[in-house]
Structures are given as structure tokens and as C-alpha cells.
Chain A
Amino acid sequence: MAYDVSDRTAADSLMTIKILVAGGFGAGKTTLVGSVSEIAPLRTEETLSERSEMVDSLYGVEQKSTTTVAMDFGRITIRKDLVVYLFGTPGQQRFWFMWDDLAYGALGAVVMADERRLADCFPSVDYFEAKGIPFVVAVNCFDGVRRHPLESITQALNLAPDVPVIACDARRRDSSRDVLVALAEHAIARFRGRRAA
């Protein structure tokens, strides 16, 4: 345990920051969360609600069904009452419309990309773009070898030019940390840019 709950001085002063880690299966989400988290990464099953409309209903009845997905969770204490929570979320297309619960209030997202299966991260990129959630793309270099220049990834994913694309080795704490720092800085820069506009 990195800190004891009794250390917290005032109940309501705990401020949380949520960062999502998305990407295709096997792209390194679990590894990244594990390498920066101060606690052993928790693998949890989370029930997400899925809003589906019944197409053939005359009454516009909305049905809500739920799906259970595996999720990774990690924690970084910035200071006693300021804690970053990392949620590694499944990136399969069939889940992306259910991310709303998770994405609510998120500072931003890291999209993990595997150069060999770049298309796997399309759904995540689409989702965060559509929701206006700041994100960075972290290209996980499993064997320290980068196959393509990073600019070609920006092109292949059709990213806005200001979206950072970073090479990383998710197994390394410092490398994963740099990805998170880049995300936080990107989120700030984007906010400043919007405010100035």
C-alpha cells in the first residue's frame, strides 16, 4: 500500500484524475499500466452498460443491457490528495460505444499501437476523436525495433497533426512515464489552444 487512507486529511479533498489506456488486443495496455502503477496492477471485470434502442418499437422504448469486460487498473499518487487512476480498457470495436461511462471526466487517453497490427487501434482513435477526448498514440516497440517512421503512423491513422505519436517500450517504467507526461502536456496545450481561439 503506497499510502494509508488515514493519511488523508479531509474526506472530500481527494481529487482524482482518470487516464484511459486503450488499444487493440495484445498491444501492451496491461504492460503499460503495470510498469507505472504503484500498486500491482489489478485486473478486474467491469460491467458496462450499453444503451441500445429497439429499432422496431413504436414506442421508442430504450433498453439497457450490460456487458462484462476485463479491465486493468493502476494508480499513481501525485500527492496525498491528488491521485491519477489508470484504466486499461478493451479496444475491440464491439465495446467502443460502451466506453462512455469510463471516459466520463477522463483527462485523456493513451492509444497503444502495435505496428504490426496498426488497424487494431482504429476504433480507439475514432472514439476519442469523436468524443473530443485528448489522446496520444504510443507505438509499443516490443523488441526495441521500430519498423516505420513515426510520421508514417500519423498518416496511416489519419491523425490530426497535433496528436503526439510516441515510440515507447511499455515494459519500461521511464518509457511509459514519458507517454503519460506527453499526454498530460498535450491535454494542457489543447485546452490552452481552445481557450485562446
Chain B
Amino acid sequence: MTAVQPPQSEWLDQDAGPVVRPYALTGGLTRPSGQRFDLLDMVGVVRRAAQEMPHLTPEQAEVLDRCQIPAPLVDLAADMNLPVGVIRILVSDLRERGLVTIHRARQAGVDDLKIMQEVVDGLRRI
């Protein structure tokens, strides 16, 4: 895992805001390329060797790492503590390079009453 650790210093903590500006994380790209995708769309790695590819930023490498099993776009943003806009750009760049695919998440419908009952029970437990 190539998770970027938050800066450990007595002077800079999370409250100080990002030390690195978002565009620095996206290689200067400011908008995603190609077809737009939904917040819940699933990002999955195409081939495992992808991580050894050169010219990947640490964040892109982390995206690949996390998407060995497809993960929703919005989860990547939450778990990597990066703005959704940055994740969109990183992911669309990876897609252009053929390293990830994006597909719609399966949404549970209200017609699946067994699942819905699980949801009700699950919500009650929180």
C-alpha cells in the first residue's frame, strides 16, 4: 500500500488544510477526460502488472492498489482523503491509459425485499 501519510509535524496537522495543492496531485490536469462517470461507478484495475508501470503518481498507484477489487469512485475519495474532483481526474487518466475500467455499480432495488429487510435490520443496528 502506498498510502500517503498525512504530514506528521507539530506545526502542520489536518486542520492546516492540504499542504499539496490538488493540481499537483493530478499532474497539472484540471478536468477529467473522456466520458463522465457517476459517484457510485465502480473503478476496477484491468491488469495486475499495472502497478509496475512507470510514470504513475503515488496517488494513481494507490488508486490501482485499492481497485484490485473494484471500488466506487466516491469510496476512493473518502478513503484516500482526496477531493472527488481529484479522484475523477486521476481515474480518467488511468482509464485513458487502459489501466482501469469503470462500470455501473449494482444498485439494490426496493423490489428485492430480502435485501431491503437486511437494510432495515442493518440500519437499526447502527
When each residue 27-49 of chain B gets 1 if its CB lies under 8 Å from chain A and 0 otherwise, what string results? 00000000010111010100000
Given the contacts A82-B122, A87-B39, A187-B110, A39 and B78 also touching, CB distance less than 8 Å: yes
B126 touches A184 (CB 8 A): no
B79 near A181 with CB under 8 A, answer no
Partner of A11, one of B69, B78, B111: B69
Asked if A185 meets B120 with Cβ closer than 8 Å, knowing A6-B69, A39-B78, the reply is yes
Instruction: Kindly list chain A residues whose C-beta atoms are within 8 Å of the C-beta of B53.
Output: none
Residues of B within 8 A of A (CB): 36, 38-40, 42, 44, 66-72, 74-75, 77-79, 83-85, 105-111, 113, 115-120, 122-124, 126
Offer 6 A-B interface pairs, CB within 8 angstroms, sorted by A.
A11-B44, A16-B108, A84-B122, A85-B39, A105-B107, A184-B119
Of the candidates A8, A15, A18, A46, the one whose C-beta lies within 8 Å of that of B115 is A15
A44 in contact with B105 (CB, 8 Å): no
Check if A14 is an interface residue, CB within 8 A of chain B. yes
Interface string of A1-30 (1 = CB under 8 A from B): 100011010011011111000000000000
- Whether A181 pairs with B66 at a CB distance below 8 angstroms is no
Inter-chain CA distance A187–B115, complex, in Å, is: 13
C-alpha gap A87/B77 in the complex (Å): 14
**Cross-chain contact of B66 among A5, A78, A104, A191 (Cβ < 8 A):** A5
Give every chain A residue within 8 A of B122 (Cβ-Cβ). 76, 78-79, 82, 84
Count the A-B residue pairs with Cβ separation under 8 angstroms: how many? Answer: 122
By a beta-carbon cutoff of 8 Å, the part of chain A in contact with chain B is: 1, 5-6, 8, 11-12, 14-18, 36, 38-40, 42, 44-47, 49, 73, 75-76, 78-79, 82, 84-85, 87, 101, 104-105, 107, 134, 173, 177, 180-181, 184-185, 187-188, 190-192
Q: Which of B75, B85, B119 contacts A45 (CB 8 A)?
A: B85
Establish whether residues A107 and B39, one from each chain, have CB atoms under 8 Å apart when the complex forms. Answer: no
B43 vs chain A, min Cβ distance (A) = 10
Contacts of B126 in A (CB 8 A): 36, 38, 76, 173, 177
In the complex, the answer to whether B118 meets A84 with C-beta atoms within 8 Å is no
Q: Is the CB of B124 within 8 A of A12?
A: no
**CA of A177 to CA of B126, assembled, Å:** 7
Q: Tell me the minimal C-beta distance from B103 to chain A in angstroms.
A: 8
Alpha-carbon distance A85/B39, docked complex (angstroms): 10
Q: Is the CB of B68 within 8 A of A5?
A: yes
Q: A12-B106, A45-B83 are in contact. Are A18 and B40 (CB under 8 A)?
A: yes
CB B61 to nearest CB in A, in angstroms, measures 15
Residues of A within 8 A of B72 (CB): 14, 16, 85
Chain A residues lying within 8 Å of B78, measured Cβ to Cβ, are 39-40, 42, 73, 75
Complex CA distance for A99 and B116, rounded to whole angstroms: 24
User: For residue B67, which residues in chain A have a CB less than 8 angstroms away from its CB?
Assistant: 5
B77 A42 Cβ-Cβ under 8 A? yes
**Which A residues lie within 8 Å of B79 (CB)?**
1, 5, 39
Query: Which residues of the partner chain A approach B106 to less than 8 Å between Cβ atoms?
Result: 12, 14-16
